[in-house]
Structure formats: structure tokens, C-alpha cells
Amino acid sequence: MKVKTLLSFAAALCCAAAFSMSAQAQLKNSPMHANLPDNATTKDCLVCHQSYQAVAQKTAKMNPNPHSNHRGEQNCTNCHSVKGKPHLECNDCHTFAIKMKGE
């Protein structure tokens, strides 16, 4: 129980610190991102990013909204990479002028 509480507190601190940084620095310097494995899953991302719907709300002003699309909820790693370059999977079929953080 103590370990679970400590881990929850540590995750909350990581997220709070991450929100105060620029988006670019957040990805590079976030202790949470730095500690994610190369094969991180959507479940790992949602520890701080809450839910796919919450992420879609944050990108609601984008047109198109990459997190609210005809393919539904996707794995975060289809487009995002903690340690590598991002890849906008939408552009495998479409040609959108969306710049991803880290490009």
C-alpha cells in the first residue's frame, strides 16, 4: 500500500512538473517520459494523460483533430515516440499540415 501511494504521488509530481515546461522540453526532460520503456503502451501514457477523450479535448481546436477521427481511439505509439521521432499516422493516407511536437 505504501509503495502504491508513493508511486501515485511520484507520478502526480512528474505530471505537475511536466505541465509547467514547454511541450518540447516536457518530452525530453520529463522523468516520466525518460523512464518509459521503448515499447511503452497507451496504458503507460494514460497514467498522466488521463484518457483518450481528455487528450482529444486538448487538441479540439486542431483541424482535423488527430485524437478525434474516423479511426477512433488509436495506440499513442502509432504517432508518438518517447525516444524517437513522431510519425503522424494520418498522413499515411491523407496529407495534413499538422506539425507534431518533436518534429
Angle between helices 2-19 and 42-49 (to 10 degrees): 70
Give the model confidence (pLDDT) of 35-64 as tens digits.
888 889 999 999 999 999 999 999 999 999
Predicted confidence at residue 99, as pLDDT, reads 85
Predicted confidence at residue 93, as pLDDT, reads 96
72 Cβ contact partners less than 8 Å away, ≥ 6 residues apart: none
For the chain, which ranges sit under pLDDT 70? 1-29
Provide the CA 90 distance to its chain's centre, in angstroms: 16
pTM over 0.75? The answer is no
* SS3 state at 98: coil
Predicted confidence at residue 18, as pLDDT, reads 43
What is the widest separation between alpha-carbon atoms in the chain? 49
